[in-house]
Amino acid sequence: MNRKKILMAFLAVLVLWMTFAANATALSGVPAGPDQTKPAAAAPEVIRLPAGWQLNRMMPGPDRTEIAFSPDGSVLVFSASSDGTMAKAMLFRRPLAGGEALAIVGTEAACMPCFSPDGQWIAYWAKRKLNKVATSGGAPIPICDLKARPHGICWTSDGRIIYGTRSAGLGSVSAAGGAPESLTQVSSGKDATHRLPHLLPGGKSLLFTSMPDPFGFVTRTEWLSLETGQRKIVMEDAADARYASTGHLVFVRKGALMAAPFNLDRREATGPAVTVRAGVQQALNAPQPDVNSGAGQYTISESGTLVFLSGGIIPEQLGDLYWIDRGGRAEKWAAFGTRAAMVFRFAHPSGRLLAYASYPPNRGIGIYDIQKNTTIRVAVEGQAWSPIWTADGKRMTFSWTKTGPMEIWWTEEDGGRTMELLAKSENELRACSWSPDGKYLALLDNGPDMNVDIRLLRLADRQVLPFVVTKSNEAFPDFSPDGRWLAYASNESGRFEIYVRSVPDGKRTLPITTEGGTAPLWSPDGREIFFWNKDFTKLMTTPIVPGQNLSAGTPKLQFEYAVMGSQQIRNYDITPDGRRFLIREKKDYNLPPVTELTLVRNWFEELKRLSPAAK
């Protein structure tokens, strides 16, 4: 055989070998080159919660991160409940090497587990206290009183517990116990809440999430030096960020798990953010500010194992409105259509205009003209809630903020461009009801300790005065048509009951119910007070003899109908002629119970493939 034939045969064999190698690589899904020697991320595994248990949750779904890895990744801890409620929750400890998840005795009502840096302790919140328990078991130890449920916690290397808040900066307390202290302050015009802290390597700084307002859809990740207090924004539209030892910033963005190469020394991203897992459950888009934490249901061990929960953000709460006559006959309001509308009010005396608030992500105020079937949007920037009309129907009042706690504003009936500030506070203020003479506005004051009180805004001098301020929670204030009385609900007896109090002196208080009631509403003639039972399935009515010496009769059933309930502000209205009610349909917007988690071992290899380090 001559040299030419030998060379041609050799080349043919070489081409055949290269083709076989390329096909084998393509079929295996492993990229060619040096990376093929590295172990690929393992196929996702399913971690099933113990039979009869589900991940701890609020009504829409889990709203705090309820899963946590020990630093070495050998142990997974989660908060689970037999019925989903926090009252019946407990912490469970599951070795990653195998074996059953076992409850940690003494951790009843626990949420937000968090490991100490050495993995020997687990911090958590339960029954208005921060607590800790040894990872190996034993009696839990209280750390401090903390009435409001924090928005995330982390344990620093110098022995501090740092926690987030709903409407303030980060807090700090020694893990050995003591009094909590403020760690950061929110900045007027910039942010309203600091939450979801996560410690960075070295223990001298951390990442946290800031939001312009706790109702909102806008989040950003910031860096904080624990030594100097210096802060820096490191990523916009990013929440619940963690640092991975691969040199990545990992965070959630509207239900997607994202990652970007990150320079820890310069505290900045060095490459674009990419999606590394779509549809990771995140507590965002919730109508309640305490639920709208931004927390993602994921945890990453230092060894590169990922556990997460699928689901995305909380779904938009679309629904229909219904007309119901006094006999309980219901008719869908087809002209209004399906919308994310809540807290609606008729403008008196004509009833031609209806103001309503929209749920997120398109939160704002709408003024709907019933005759023209047209809608005007008001306060489309920022966050708006609880629209109500002045008694003459010429102005619409609402709660609104662009940054910070909600304030009280008003505008013309046509939603004109002019918005005027009426009242502001360090706390959230919610507009509720105007007196017929326009002298007083009843509003709710939501304090930082989750206590809700009723105050009166005196329009003459714009002073906010205390009216029903107690250790209990008050809600649903509604002025009587003659302006002499304010109806409201209070849980001072241990459950919500309906009361009326004389205005403005507050000297007389009369109970209207003794067997429970919520969301009172006066009839237009002032001779009835309507209210719902606690389940919002029965509308009740109480006859009233109005006047200075008001008296009330025995409540009786108006009709049975399951409606969309509310917690602080009345979510139904009556037409000015008193003949029909407008209600929102009852609909289940809750996410399904979580009984399984997804685990990915050696996830860091997938992370590096999807988000290569910047060159």
What is the 3-class SS of 427-444, one letter each residue? Answer: CEEEEEEECCCCCEEEEE
Q: Would you state the pLDDT for residue 413? A: 79
259 touches 611 (CB < 8 A): yes
pLDDT band of 79, cuts 50, 70, 90: very high
Burial class (CB in 10 A: 0-12, 13-18, 19+), 543: middle
Model pLDDT, residue 12: 42
Look at 29-38, 210-219, 451-460 and tell me which has the smallest mean pLDDT.
29-38
Phi/psi for 92 (5° steps) reads -120, 145
Matching CATH number, 321-584, of 3.40.640.10, 2.120.10.30, 3.20.10.10, 1.10.10.10: 2.120.10.30
Closest to 456 (Cα-Cα) out of 511, 409, 521, 503: 503
Q: Which pLDDT tens digit goes with each residue over 234-255?
A: 999 999 999 999 999 999 999 9
How far is the C-alpha of 51 from the C-alpha of 586, rounded, in Å? 30
Superfamily of domain 49-315+592-610: TolB, C-terminal domain (2.120.10.30)
Angle at 112 between CA 109 and CA 113, to 5 degrees: 95
In sequence order, the 6+-apart residues with CB closer than 8 A to the CB of 54 are 80, 81, 82, 83, 84, 593, 594, 595
- Residue written as tokens 């999430």? 209
Cis peptide preceding 212, ω within 30 of 0: no
Looking at the predicted structure, is the pLDDT value of residue 261 above 70? yes
Q: Which two tokens stand for residue 169?
A: 């900066």
* Prior bond of 201 cis (ω within 30°): no
Is residue 101 scored above 70 in pLDDT? yes
- The rounded distance, in Å, linking the Cα atoms of 60 and 475 is 22
Q: 425 is written with which tokens?
A: 């506070």
Contacts of residue 204, Cβ cutoff 8 Å, sequence gap at least 6:
225, 226, 227
Name the residue with tokens 């059933």.
Answer: 557
Cα dihedral 93, 96, 101, 102 sign: negative
Q: Is 321-584 the same fold as 49-315+592-610?
A: yes
The contacts of residue 37 (CB under 8 Å, 6+ apart) are none
Answer yes or no: is pLDDT of 464 > 80.
yes
**Is a pLDDT exceeding 70 seen at residue 38?**
no
Handedness of CA 316, 55, 473, 583 (dihedral sign): positive
Number of H helices, E strands in the chain: 2, 51
- What residues have CB less than 8 Å from 562, skipping those under 6 apart? 535, 536, 537, 586
| pLDDT given for residue 23 in this prediction | 36
Q: What would you report as the CA-atom Rg of the chain, rounded to the nearest whole angstrom? A: 29
Backbone angles phi, psi at 299, to 5 degrees: -150, 145
Reply yes or no on whether the pLDDT at 13 is more than 80.
no
Are 438 and 391 within 8 A, CB to CB?
yes
User: What's the rounded Cα separation, in Å, for the pair 547 and 483?
Assistant: 9
Condensed to tens digits (0 to 9), the pLDDT of residues 530-568 reads: 999 999 999 999 999 999 999 999 999 999 999 988 889
Does the pLDDT value for residue 359 go beyond 80? Answer: no
Q: Burial of 165 by CB count in 10 Å (0-12 exposed, 13-18 middle, 19+ buried)?
A: buried
Whether residue 515 is predicted with pLDDT greater than 90 in this model: the reply is yes
Nearest to 168 by CA among 448, 445, 374: 448
Q: What pLDDT, on a 0 to 100 scale, did the predictor assign at position 364? A: 83
List the beta bridge partners of residue 123: 114, 132
Token pair in block for residue 284: 């965002």
Other beta carbons within 10 angstroms of residue 351's beta carbon come to 17
Is the CB of residue 164 less than 8 Å from the CB of residue 131? no
Cα-Cα-Cα-Cα dihedral of 330, 334, 337, 343, to 10°?
-30
- pLDDT for 109 equals 96
- Integer Cα distance of 129 and 137 in angstroms: 19
582 membership: H or E segment, kind and range: strand 580-584
State the Cα–Cα distance between residues 518 and 489, nearest whole angstrom.
6
Q: Is the pLDDT of residue 8 over 70?
A: no
Per domain, the residue ranges of the chain are: 49-315+592-610, 321-584
H or E element in which residue 134 lies: strand 129-134
User: CA–CA separation, 25 vs 387, rounded Å?
Assistant: 62
Confidence of residue 416 (pLDDT cuts 50, 70, 90): low
Question: Which residue in 90, 94, 116, 83 sits closest to 45, CA to CA?
Answer: 94
- pLDDT above 50 (res 429): yes
State residue 428's pLDDT score.
Answer: 87
Local confidence band at 175 (pLDDT 50, 70, 90 cut-offs) = very high
CB 468 within 8 A of CB 480: no
Which token pair is 557? Answer: 């059933």
Is the Cα dihedral 270, 276, 281, 286 positive or negative? positive
**What does pTM read for this prediction?**
0.81
Higher confidence at residue 318 or residue 41? 318
